[in-house]
Each structure stands twice: as C-alpha cells, then as structure tokens.
Structure 1
Amino acid sequence: MTASPLPQGSYRLVALIVASAFFMEQLDSTIIATALPAMAESLGADPVRMNFAMTAYVLSLAVFIPLSGKVADRFGTRNTFRAAIALFVLSSILCGLAQNLPWLIGARLLQGASGALMVPVGRLVLLRSVEKSQLVAAMSWVLFPAMVGPAIGPLIGGFLTTYLSWHWIFYINVPIGLAGIVMVTRHIPNVPSDGPTAPLDYIGFVLSGACLASLVVGLENLGHGGARSTAFLLLAAAAGCAALYRWHSRRHPAPLLDFSLMRIPTFHVALTGGLLYRVAYGGFPFLMPLMLQLGFGLSAAESGAITFASAVGGLVMKAISRPFLRAFGYRNVLIWNGLLSATMLALCGAFRPSWSVVAIYLLLLIGGFVRSLHMNAYGTIVYADIPQARMSAATALASINQQISMALGVGLSALVLDLSRYALGHEQVQLSDFSVAFVAMGLLGVVAVGLCRRLPGDAGAEMSGHRGKRV
C-alpha cells in the first residue's frame, strides 16, 4: 500500500472509526472478568479455571494478527475491516449462546481471530498517513481504547451480569458491530496493494502459532497439580517451536515476523520492556474483580464500579500525556513513572474489606493515571526509529506483543493464585492469595524499568519534542 496522507478531517474520522473497533476488541478482553463467578455457576466450572475464556481470546488475537497485513493487501483495507467486524459479531452471538466451557472457549477463539483482523489494518492506515511529529497525538486515539477498554470492561460486564444476565456481555457487540460495518463502508478507503506481495509464510505461521499457544496453555496448567507434567511438555514444545522459528526466519526471504527489527535500540527496549510491563498489568482486569467478589463479597456490579476508577485516571492522563513526554522525555517517563506504576499495582494487594471505598478509589485512580501515561509512552516510542518501508512489519510485532502480554498476564496471575493457594494450604482462594499475586506482578513491573535505562536521553525526541541529553 502506498503511503498517502489523509485530509485533516478524514484522518480524524478514520482514527475514530479505528479507535471504536479497537475499543470493542479490547473491551471483550476483560468484559467477562466480573461475570466469571456467575458464568462459572451457569456453565458448571471453577471460577479460577474460567481464566481460559479470557486467555483464549487474547491468544487467538496474537496468533492471527500477523495474517492481517497479508489479507488486507490481497482484499483491500475496507473489505478486510468490514468482514472482520461481521465475523466478530457472529462469534459474539455464539459466545452468548454457550452451554459449557469448551463451547465458550471455541467461540472466544473465533472472536479473537476476527478481532485480529480489525485493528492492525486500521492502525497501519494511520501509521502510513501521519507525520512522526504528530504520531503521539494521532495514536492516542487508537491507544487510549487499549487502556480504557480493559478497564471499563469489568464495569459494563458487572452491570449487565447483575441486572440482565452474563449473556448480554456478548450480545452488546451486535448493535455496535452493525453500526461499525456501515461506518467502514462509507468512510474507510478500500486500498489494495500497489504491487505484488510476498507469499504467506505458512511454516512461520504454524511455528509461531504453536509456540504462543503452547506457552500460554502450558503456563495456565503449571499451577494445576494433576496437569503439571502436561504443562512442562507444553513449555518445552514452546521453546522448541521458538528455536525452529528462529532458524526458519533467517532463511525465509519474507518471514511472517521480522525479528531483525530488534536491532533498532528503541524498538528493542519498547518491545521487551513493554512486554514485561503489560504482562504485569495484564493480570489486573482478572485479579481485581475476582478479589472484590470472592474476597470482599461484593456483587459483579459493585466490583465493576470500583475497578472503573482506574479508567477515570486514564481519561485524565489522555489529555496531558504529550506535555509530560515533552517535558521529561521518554527515558525519564519510562523509568520513574514505571516505578510508580509498579508500586501502585503491588499496593492493590493490600486492599481489605475494612478499607474505606474512598481510599480504594483514590489508589485505583492514581494507578490508572500513571498506567495510561506508560501505555502511551510504550505504544509510540516503539515506532520512533522505524523506516516507513518497515512500518507494517513493526506493527505486526508490536500488536502481537501487546496481545500476548495480556494472555500471559492473566495466565501468570492465575498461576500465582494457584501456587499461593497450594503453598498456604487454602482449599479455596483467599485474600492473602490475591495479595501474593499483586505483589508478584508489581515486581515484574520493576524488572521492566531496568530495561528502560538502556534508552538514550533523547530517545523519541522527534515525537515528544523533548531535547534531553544522550546518556
């Protein structure tokens, strides 16, 4: 696809359409969080085991995202986008009709596959049409739903589950999706490839998909006493697939995932540090609603309303993230704000029913504030030094990184809960198990900060406007 700047009005409208699709996609990654106890009772499953329904969705997103560029090049952006939304609506209906956990997991896999085609195509249109000096402002429209969607998912899911039924957390996508199909048809250009495209790397797709699936499912099973032997086999398979993919990618003329981009310092730090940070916070939408319901005895609606405080903090930060980056630069923000963000995450483990609601709201508000700044920083600096010709490959890797981190975050959180419950001799998960999980995820966020120290002081200066010294 040839890069051609969009008119000012068209750019904003396309950005809003893409943001709306991204919001719907990200909302569904966590909207079931507050509904898990009710869904578990309805489907006859363990509430902690219901995390498979969350990870199946984000895992499918990660596996199928690399195909989005190839499909869009062949069929055009509008056709791909529109078909993906239609499939998302269909899979949402199937989720709502689920009668058991395997049915729900299968429908969530289909939902994730359709979501994988929606956002990368739209985001690529913006990346190829907006100057780097305006990228922070432009991408904030697309990145903000990535933070707000998972944050308000528990609020919407809790309300629908409490006052209607859990089935409506999926049916709500139907009117939104139908409206999206109309908007895409009217306002998204159907840009085909302007030349021959490289053939799809089928071997790379199979190897990368097998690696991601084995890694996530293996991690999920690691905490289950009877499934640990299977878990170790799956983790070994993931390592083997990763080694085979590395060997394959060095010999393929157009590998599905171009890891040679990791030689670019800002991309390398943003991807590795961003992965650890997003894994740390990826468990938040899973842990917090469960803790408030199982540990505090709150309803789905009440737990969702409390969790929503973090989204409010994100709304405030959206308007001022660019001035923060201009004043302090990417390196300082990623280091110092990263430490504050990790601390706020770990402090969630100290919440107890005896705490005042105001204190809990305040801490979640601050946590959402600093998390929004961090997400925006990671989400933009990753493209700071990427040549325009390699933007598509960079988008694929960055999108997979974002999605797999959510799956790993939920899986790791569930693993820590299981291990803590086993070590402390709890028959059912207790508040102390949630405390262990939140502290563990906070420590992971601290590790991410160490990687950000490798950035020079003027990293991403073209986007942020900060003129710091190279260190």
Structure 2
Amino acid sequence: MSPATTSPPATTSTATSAETSSGGAAPPNALGGRPLLDDATKRWLPWVVALAFFMQTLDTTILNTALPGMARDLGEDPLKMQSAVVAYLLTVALLIPASGWLADRFGTRTVFLWAIGLFSLGSLGCAVSPSLHALVVARIVQGVGGALLVPVGRLVVLRAFPKAEFLAVMTFISLPGLVGPLLGPTLGGVLTQYASWHWIFLINLPVGLAGAVACRRYMPQILGPVGRRFDWGGYALFSVGLMLLSLALQGFGEHVVSMAICLVMGVAGVACMMAYWLHATRTEEPLFSPALFAVPTFRIGLLGNVFARLGSGATPFLTPLFLQLGLGFTPSEAGLSMIPSVLGAMFTKTLAIRLIRRAGYRQVLIVNTLLLGVLIASFALIPHDVGHVWLAIHLGLFGMVNSMQFTAMNTLTLGDLDERNASGGNSLLAVVMQLSMSLGVATSSAFLLLFSHGLPRTEGPAIVPAFHMTYLALGAMAAMAAFIFYQLRINEGAAEESAESKLTPED
C-alpha cells in the first residue's frame, strides 16, 4: 500500500486529498482519521525523518572546525568567516515560521522532497564556491532546505502516528540530533586535514540522494486545512526586521559598510519589528499572537533565551577558531577536543528535569546562568600551552552547564502554553534559538576583530589575548540573563509534571 493523504476526523472542518507515492490521485480514506500507513511505511518513516534531523544538526557544527582552512583557500581573514555561519542560521530562522503553512498548502512529501533537494543543491554550491561571497549565497540556499527539514519532519510524525506512539517515535528521531553535534566538529576537522574542506559539503550529496529516494517511497503526502490563511504581511515585517537587525550588527563588527549605513539598518529593523507588533494586535490570525506574551513564563523564558544564547551560542563557533589560530591545534585535534562538550551535554539531559522539579526554575536558572557566564569567561584562563586533559575537563563542564541551561530555558518557555498557543509559541522559540545563535556568532566576531585590531598576525600566541578578552565579554553578556530569570516566582516549576513532554529537540 502506498502512503496516502487522508482527511482528518469529520468533527473538524479540514478538507484533504490523497495521493499515491507515485504522485497520482487517490480517493481520501473513507474512515477519516490519520493516514493509513502500511507496515513498511510505519517502520521506515521514522528513519527518513531521523536522517533529516541528522543532516541538519551535523551541518550546524561541521563547518566550525573547517573555517580556518576554508579561509586560507578562499584568501580570506579567518576572523571574518562568520558570514558563512550567520547566513545559514539567519536563513533558517527566517523560514521556520512559514514551514508549517508550506507543508499544509503543498503537502508534506512535496515540501520534504524540495527541502532535501535545496539542502543538497546548496551543499554542492558550497563545495564549488570560489569565494566567500559565493559560499554565503550557497549557504543561504542550504539554509532554505535546512529550515524545512526538521519542522516538516516533526509535523509528519505528529500527524501520522497516534498519540500513544508519538513520544517513542519522537525520541527515536531525536537521537540523531544528538549524534550530529558529536560527529560534526571531529568529522569537519578530519576531512579538512586529511582530504579537503570541500568534502564537509560533498558528503551531504549521497545522504541527500538516499533521503530523497526514501522520501518518495515512505513519506505520506499530508495536506492541511483548506483555506488556512497565512499572515504574509506580518511575516514580511517580522522577517525584514530580523534581517536588518542582524545585518546591522554584522556590519558594525566587520566594518564592511559605514557606521551610518549600519545605524540606518538598525533603526529600520527596530521600526519593522514595532510595525509587526502593531500589525499583530490588529490581525485576527497573526504570525505570532501577542497573547503569547501574556504568559509570564513564556515572556521571561524567551527573553532569557536571547541573552543567554548570545554567549553560549557563540562558543561552538569561537572555540574551534581559538584552538587552531590561538593554540596551534590541527583541524582534527580541534574537532576531537570538542567531543567532551557534547558528551557532557548528553549526560546532563538525563538529570535536568529531575533537578528542575526538585529546586524549581528560578533557583536552577539563576545559579546555572551565572555559572554558565563564569565558565565562558574562564576560557580566558586557558594558556597557550594548555594540556589536553585540562582542556577536556573544561569543555566537558561547559557542555554540562550549557545543556542544563538549554533544557531549563526551553521547558520554562513552553511549559505553561495551552493547546491554542502551543504551536505558535514553539515556532517562535525555534526562531529565537536560531536568531540568538546567529547574533552570538556575529557578536563574538565583532569582539574578536575589535580586540585583535592592530595585531600584525591573526595566528599564534599574539592572537590569544584577543580570544581571552572575547570570552570575557561573552561570559559577562550570558551572565546578565540571570537578572531576567530573577523575575520568576520563587517556586516556579518545582512540581512541573509536563515539562519533559514539551521539550523540543535541542541543537
């Protein structure tokens, strides 16, 4: 039996159609309900979605270790390669809000296939890029595909599997999301050192081909409600505002345009965001409802995410540069050195929810945020001749505290949302997570360029103090989020029962 599109229960007003796996029309399931999946589809669909999760999470980390080698080949300053990272993260942030509507409008299989195709095409473009500008364009194409892979895959699982099976399937497809960051830095370093950096993108091509073939066979074509409106006006204002603010911050750091232009872009970005807020209060179905911000935990959690991730989100980008440019590590050594951070993060995930239930969000987040800031700042104590053991311990502790921070912030932000606001809140949180990492990379690059200004070389012991000062600045910024979490109630979340079920897969 081919995967089919079926209509939701008759109690809803949703109308759907059906297609066979070859694209031909087929009548809707007369019984209604979820798509009728054959045994092979039920067995292999989670693997298809898990493969997409793996591709997306691997790509967010594999590039960082390769940046110095890429800079040498492209004739660029290694300290000015952040645009290749920011372009991808920002594109993903901008397209996440539209992913659900696109899947509803054109069908999950169609959008998923396009996502794999664009991700693979962008990967090929990155591999053959002759310059940084061409690489940035290819990363944008890759980001369009990456922005659709994970949300649409999660949506398919939500709609195709009954509630009793959903948690088990989501747990299975989330595991590659943990393996991707574990393999990414190491694989990027090994490929860069022993082959060439081009292979960190070329390896996506066979994976993408396998994913496309499996998608055509096992991905159901599920359509959403007919006539569902999308807030295109709000989406335009919100997206343009985010893009202008990000470009303004990056322009301030790189000095590629005048300060006057950066200031104009920054003011225009703020104006677009204010215009979106006014638009949302007057629109019946806004992109993100203002009612979300009436929930105190969502409001505090979202703001805390922004400031805490400015520091912690920049560290996976900054540390491989520090290890290679400052400490003289080879790409493979730098990649292997990042493993303790990921292992520490995986270990902490088993403890975070129990600690939150016992101590409450306020106490956990205040203490952990301050500790996170201290650990980021303490990278300034790492000398040029640091031993591998001490570095592994340092990165392992950072990974543990960073994972605790992400888990606590995400469950706090989503925990009190009702069914009506859960989807919009989850989407906005995903946007903020990507945007904050983008801003963190841009901010760390700006600090690094500022502190290294006037140095004759950007490699070796001379650049180490600039990295140290950058870590101190990022640590101070991350620690300031503790003032935001101080606004929580004293016993907030101490007996929370649903936090774990609402946790979204972390990057």
User: Is the contact made by 1:342 and 1:443 (CA closer than 8 Å) also made in structure 2?
Assistant: yes
User: Is the contact made by 2:411 and 2:499 (CA closer than 8 Å) also made in structure 1?
Assistant: no
Q: Which residue, 467, 470, 474 being the options, matches 1:441?
A: 474
- Bigger Cα displacement from structure 2, 150-159 vs 232-241: 150-159
| TM-fit CA distance, 1:102 | 1.2
Structural mapping, 1:100-139, within 5 Å:
100-124=131-155
- Is 2:130 the counterpart of 1:99? yes
Stretches of structure 1 lacking an aligned partner (at least 5 in a row): 466-471
User: Is the contact made by 1:92 and 1:171 (CA closer than 8 Å) also made in structure 2?
Assistant: yes
Q: Which residue, 424, 427, 430 being the options, matches 1:393?
A: 424
Q: Measure the CA separation in 1 of the matches of 2:384 and 2:128.
A: 35
| TM-fit CA distance, 1:186 | 4.9
For residue 347 of structure 1, what is the aligned residue in structure 2?
378
SS in 1 for 2:487: coil
For residue 76 of structure 2, what is the aligned residue in structure 1?
45
Q: Measure the CA separation in 2 of the matches of 1:19 and 1:78.
A: 15
CA change 1:142–1:368 in 2 (3 A) is farther
- Is 2:36 the counterpart of 1:36? no
CA change 1:193–1:64 in 2 (3 A) is same
SS in 2 for 1:223: helix
SS in 2 for 1:319: helix
For residue 217 of structure 1, what is the aligned residue in structure 2?
247
Output the TM-score relative to the length of structure 1.
0.88
| TM-fit CA distance, 1:26 | 2.7
Q: What is the CA deviation profile of residues 437-458 of structure 1, one whole-angstrom value per residue up to 9, with x for unaligned ones?
A: 1111111221222222233324
User: Is the contact made by 1:313 and 1:368 (CA closer than 8 Å) also made in structure 2?
Assistant: yes
Output the TM-score relative to the length of structure 2.
0.82
What amino acid does structure 2 have at the position aligned with 1:177?
A: G
| TM-fit CA distance, 1:112 | 0.7
What amino acid does structure 2 have at the position aligned with 1:306?
A: S
Q: Measure the CA separation in 2 of the matches of 1:339 and 1:148.
A: 28
Q: What is the CA deviation profile of residues 250-297 of structure 1, one whole-angstrom value per residue up to 9, with x for unaligned ones?
A: 222222233431211121122111121222111112211111111111
| TM-fit CA distance, 1:309 | 1.8
User: Is the contact made by 2:241 and 2:273 (CA closer than 8 Å) also made in structure 1?
Assistant: yes
SS in 2 for 1:33: helix
What amino acid does structure 1 have at the position aligned with 2:409?
A: Y
Structural mapping, 1:247-326, within 5 Å:
247-326=278-357
User: Is the contact made by 1:279 and 1:408 (CA closer than 8 Å) also made in structure 2?
Assistant: yes
Q: Which residue, 343, 352, 366 being the options, matches 1:335?
A: 366
Structural mapping, 1:7-22, within 5 Å:
17-22=48-53
CA change 1:409–1:2 in 2 (3 A) is farther
| TM-fit CA distance, 1:324 | 3.0
User: Is the contact made by 1:55 and 1:410 (CA closer than 8 Å) also made in structure 2?
Assistant: yes
- Is 2:392 the counterpart of 1:357? no
- Bigger Cα displacement from structure 2, 72-81 vs 120-129: 120-129
Stretches of structure 2 lacking an aligned partner (at least 5 in a row): 1-6, 10-32, 501-507
CA change 1:368–1:329 in 2 (3 A) is same
| TM-fit CA distance, 1:16 | 6.0
- Bigger Cα displacement from structure 2, 275-284 vs 76-85: 76-85
For residue 64 of structure 1, what is the aligned residue in structure 2?
95
- Is 2:247 the counterpart of 1:208? no
- Bigger Cα displacement from structure 2, 15-24 vs 370-379: 15-24
For residue 496 of structure 2, what is the aligned residue in structure 1?
461
Q: Measure the CA separation in 2 of the matches of 1:350 and 1:243.
A: 42
| TM-fit CA distance, 1:11 | 9.3
CA change 1:316–1:332 in 2 (3 A) is same
Q: Measure the CA separation in 2 of the matches of 1:138 and 1:338.
A: 32
CA change 1:379–1:125 in 2 (3 A) is farther
How many residues matched?
460
CA RMSD of aligned residues (A): 3.0
Q: Which residue, 330, 348, 372 being the options, matches 2:403?
A: 372
CA change 1:288–1:409 in 2 (3 A) is same
For residue 415 of structure 1, what is the aligned residue in structure 2?
446
What amino acid does structure 1 have at the position aligned with 2:432?
A: N
Q: Which has the higher contact order (CA 8 A, sep 6+)?
A: 1
Q: Measure the CA separation in 2 of the matches of 1:269 and 1:33.
A: 31
What amino acid does structure 2 have at the position aligned with 1:34?
A: T
User: Is the contact made by 1:120 and 1:395 (CA closer than 8 Å) also made in structure 2?
Assistant: no
Identity %: 37
CA change 1:294–1:220 in 2 (3 A) is same
- Bigger Cα displacement from structure 2, 252-261 vs 43-52: 252-261
- Is 2:110 the counterpart of 1:79? yes
Q: What is the CA deviation profile of residues 215-274 of structure 1, one whole-angstrom value per residue up to 9, with x for unaligned ones?
A: 112111213446333222221221121122222222222222334312111211221111
Q: Measure the CA separation in 1 of the matches of 2:368 and 2:355.
A: 11
SS in 2 for 1:54: helix
